[in-house]
Each structure stands twice: as C-alpha cells, then as structure tokens.
Amino acid sequence: MLLDNDVREKLSQYLQLMEKDILIKVNDAENPASTEMSDFIKELAGLSTKIHVEAASLPRIPSFSINKVNQDVGIYFAGIPLGHEFTSLILALLQVSGYPPKIDEALIEQIKNIKVPLHFETYVSLTCHNCPEVVQALNIMSLLNPNITHTMIDGALFKEEIDSKNILAVPSVYLNGKPFSSGRMELEEILLKLDIKPILPKLDGKEPYDVFVIGGGPAGTSAAIYAARKGLRTALLAEELGGQINNTFGIENFISIKYTEGPTLAANIEEHLRSYAVDVIKMQKVKTLRKASMVEIVLETGTILHSKTVIIATGARWRNINVPGEAEYKNKGVAYCPHCDGPLFKGKTVAVIGGGNSGVEAALDLAGLAKHVILLQNFNKLNADEILQKRVYSKENIKVITNAKTTEILGNEKVHGLTYLDSLTGNDVTIDVDGIFIQIGLLPNTEWLKNTLSLNSFGEIIVDKYGKTNIPGVFAAGDCTDCPYKQIIISMGAGANAALSAFDYLLRN
C-alpha cells in the first residue's frame, strides 16, 4: 500500500465530490517503477466506483492519463503524483469528472479559443512547492481545450530525459518539444507567454479609494482586510498575490498553525481577502506615486488611480550576486530555491553561497541529497544562528570555506564550477561544482520610490511606529520597510498597523 491511512481517508472524502465516471489509462511494463504505479492506480480506483482503469499505450512508461469515459482529455502523469503533486492529482480527478475549475469565465473563453496544437511537458520534482501551480494550470488548459495536452514528468523517475535536456531547475516546461519556461507561473502568465494578453479589468475612471494597498503579500493583504473591515473603500493591487510565501516551503512559526506550507498559506490568505469588499487588481505593477490633493498611483500601463491614502507593501526579492555567469547559467545550475531544485543535484557536488541563516539552512537541506556541499562565506565566520552553525559543522559532507568572495560562475551549457577570491591569501581559487545555490539575502522592492519617499541606505522605506512615511497619507508595512525583522507574522502585524493608521488619518483629514 502506497497511501497511508490518513491520505486514503482524505482522498476518499475528495473523491466523493466527483461528478461523473472517469477512465484512467495506464501504460506499464515489467519493472519496479511500473509495478509501483499500477499498484497506486489500483489503490486509487478502489476508493471510488466512479474510477475505471484500462491498459493503454502511452508515450512514456510508466505513465497514466486521466480521461472522460468516452473522450481523452490529454492530462498525463509520468510518475506517481504524490508529495507536492498530490493536490494536482486530486484536482485532475475532480475536474475531469466535471467539477468546474475555479478560474474566471474570461480565462476559460481565452483557453477555449486556442486553435493551435499545444503539447506541454512539465518536469517536476515531488518536493517542489512551485511545481503544482504550473502543473495545475496546464492541466486546466488541457481539460478545456482538445488541442492542448499536458504531461507531468517526475524528473527523479525520468532521469535520462532530465540529463539529455540539461534540466537543472524545476518546474521546467517544454512546449511541442522545445523549452518554454522555467519556474513558477500562474495561468495568466502562461497565456501571456503564448501571446494571449490577459483581459484586465477596466481601471480608467475608477472612483478614488479611501485606502489603496500596493502589494499582495502578508503585509498588503492584512492591511487590505483591516481597511475593508473599517468600511473603507479599499483596493489591493499586486504583481503577484502571495508574495514571498509562494516560494516558501515549510512554515512552523505562524502562531496557531504548527506547520503549513507557503502555497497553502497563500491560498488561505487570498480566500480571506476575497471574502471582503476589496477591489483586487492582479498582474499590475505600480511605476510611481505622486502626492497632489490625493495620492496619484501611476501604473506601468500608464493608468492613473487616485486614493486618499496609500499603503506600500511591496516586500522584497532574492538578491543576486551579480558576478559573470550568474545570469547566463540561471536554471542551468545556478539556483535560488533548494527545496525546488535540490533533488536534481542528488549525488552531485553543489556550492551554497551565503553564510547567513538561509545559506546554512540550504546547505543542511542539500546535504541530505548531494554528495558534497561546499558552503562559501565572504566574511571570516558564518553569521547564521549558533544552533544552525553547530549542525552545519557536524555534517561530514559539508565543507565550510570562509573569506571566500565568489567572483565568477563557470560553465559550458551548464555550470561546472566557480571561482572565488581568497581574501586572506589574495589568490583566485577555482572549484568544480555541478550546481550553485545563491542565498545572500533579500533586496527591498523600492527602486521605484527612490525619488519619492525617504529610504535608508539599504533602500528600505523609513517608517515610524504608526507605519507613516515622510509623505502624509502614505504608509508602508512589511519587508519593504526598515522594520528590523522580516517575518510573515511581523509583516501581517505591520499591515494591520498601517491600515489602522490610515483609518485614523482619514478621520482627521
């Protein structure tokens, strides 16, 4: 039995939501991976009388497809979608059975109108928390349009394909046999990459808002919910809802929930946000702010919106190391997410650049998979928490090199090494590695505010204890500010604080 009792019970409950019968076609052979997959499908079919199974010839062994009884849908799984892909499996089963996907009508129409054949293949690892978003989006596209098919491929099972295509980052999507994209993408972004422009809500001529929140991470959503609960006319605009938590794996310090994962928390936060009267504007970027009688919010599209108050919660992003080779070998051995891409370096040698908490955590994480991990720190000692340092020094397959300033990433189609300057000897040292994980902290998303607001030397927005900036009516919260600690719960608190301050400002002005 592959499924433990808890998972079986959960799955049985979900399968009760199935509307019509479905047919799973299985392609297997006489090998352990096929036997495991066939046993899994049998177990699955045993949980619902609506699931029928038959043998079929499919492009990959082992693999299976999920179909309507009289119609192939084009959703294939090459591998057993457990781990993070378990939700993708449940959704595929329900949606093929007739349970409608939760996406906008406009998007459904855009997908149905695609006339050309699109055959997507997504290479995933089952520990990748960014992969399901892409798998689920492409499965929905296959479900809605007979011209589209999609195969999820477990890279650990189809290693030869991964190696022959030089795939060193997941999710890696191929379209009609050619590289299409790498990394997390929402359905709208996939359509945009296919040159299908999103149907954006009409923004010109919108009535001014009381509170306009920029950013849809923990700080922004919390601010919007607090503002809406005060009965204020509120908008939240974000390039991507969720923010950094979309890239976070396990979260164990969100008080009241012992353990959750980034994408789950992001989905819960969005559901909470949408239960209030907040105008949510997705996939838009703010270019600049201007203070007139109200605050003018200028979008990159040129649209100008007006609000009596603004709360900036634009968070932060991975800091690049900015050495030759970094951009060139991104996703070809240069990686930022150990949870996603770590499994692709199983048995190999990897370097982690950065001796703070995130670097040391990444090294510890990778030590369980990689043959050797080399942790490079440009200072003379690590600056991670003591407890993490102790653990890292106790691992036999982690080597820590201090005083090492990375100067170049070396490769030839994919990474094969790096050079660092040994600041004690002044010598350049080259080491051979198969992958490089860059973990040198975050940069605030505030470049667009340089000439508008007071920022500190790190580019963080300077705020007081009320979340006020130097412009009356403009507040800020979360990782984009000079608050000393960058955490989910702190950002949420700061968002609430800024919203209450905006409410107070509106009472007095």
Ligand X SMILES: Cc1cc2nc3c(=O)[nH]c(=O)nc-3n(C[C@H](O)[C@H](O)[C@H](O)COP(=O)(O)OP(=O)(O)OC[C@H]3O[C@@H](n4cnc5c(N)ncnc54)[C@H](O)[C@@H]3O)c2cc1C
Judged by CB under 6 A, which of 15, 107, 237, 370 binds ligand X?
Answer: 237
Nearer to ligand X, 149 or 247 (CB): 247
Judged by CB under 6 A, which of 87, 491, 497, 501 binds ligand X?
Answer: 491
Is 462:455 a contact under the CB 8 Å cutoff?
yes
Is 35:64 a contact under the CB 8 Å cutoff?
no
128, 131, 337, 480: which one is catalytic?
A: 337
Nearer to ligand X, 153 or 237 (CB): 237
Nearer to ligand X, 161 or 261 (CB): 261
Is 316:262 a contact under the CB 8 Å cutoff?
no
Options 8-16, 18-26, 239-247, 320-328: segment touching ligand X (CB under 6 A): 239-247
| Catalytic annotation present for 340 | yes
Regarding 361 and contact with ligand X (CB under 6 A), the answer is no
Q: Which residue is nearest to ligand X (CB)?
A: 315
Regarding 238 and contact with ligand X (CB under 6 A), the answer is yes
Q: Report CA torsion sign: 138, 143, 145, 151.
A: positive
Residue 466: which of 139, 217, 223, 176 has the closest Cα?
223
Q: What's the 3-state SS for 304-367?
A: EEEEEEEEECCCEEECCCCCCCCCCCECCCEECCHHHHHHHHCCCEEEEECCCHHHHHHHHHHH
Judged by CB under 6 A, which of 93, 137, 245, 499 binds ligand X?
Answer: 245
In 33-98 the beta strands, taken as DSSP E runs, fall at 51-55, 63-68, 71-78
Regarding 127 and contact with ligand X (CB under 6 A), the answer is no
For residues 278-317, which are near ligand X according to CB under 6 A?
Answer: 285-286, 313-316
Determine how many CB atoms are found less than 10 A away from the CB of residue 415: 25
Closest distance to ligand X from the beta carbon of 388 (Å): 14
Regarding 340 and contact with ligand X (CB under 6 A), the answer is no
CA atoms of 432 and 180, how far apart (whole Å): 29
Closest distance to ligand X from the beta carbon of 250 (Å): 7
Regarding 151 and contact with ligand X (CB under 6 A), the answer is no
Regarding 226 and contact with ligand X (CB under 6 A), the answer is no
Residue 217: which of 197, 174, 247 has the closest Cα?
247
28, 128, 210, 340: which one is catalytic?
A: 340
In 104-226 the beta strands, taken as DSSP E runs, fall at 118-124, 148-154, 172-175, 178-182, 209-214
Catalytic (active-site) positions: 337, 340-341
Residue numbers at the binding site for ligand X (CB under 6 A): 214-220, 237-241, 243-245, 247-248, 251, 253, 285-286, 313-316, 445, 448, 478-479, 486-489, 491
